[in-house]
Amino acid sequence: MHPLVKLAKKAIEAYVNEGRAIEPPAELIPEMREKAGVFVSIKKHGELRGCIGTFMPTCENVALEVIRNAICAATQDPRFYPVQSEELNDLTYSVDVLSPPEEVKDMKELDPKKYGVIVSKGQRKGLLLPDLEGVDTVEEQLRIAKMKAGISHIEEVKIFRFEVKRYR
DSSP string for 82-121? PP-GGGGGGEEEEEEEEPPPEE-SSGGG--TTT-EEEEEE
pLDDT at 94: 98
Question: pLDDT category, 144, cuts 50, 70, 90?
Answer: very high
pLDDT at 155: 94
Q: Where are the domains of the chain?
A: 3-98, 102-163
Q: What CATH class has 3-98?
A: alpha beta
Average pLDDT score over the chain = 97
pLDDT at 105: 94
pLDDT at 156: 94
Q: What CATH class has 102-163?
A: alpha beta
pLDDT at 91: 98
Q: Beta-carbon neighbour count of residue 68 at 10 Å?
A: 19
pTM of the model: 0.94
pLDDT in tens, 10-69: 999 999 999 999 999 999 999 999 999 999 999 999 999 999 999 999 999 999 999 999
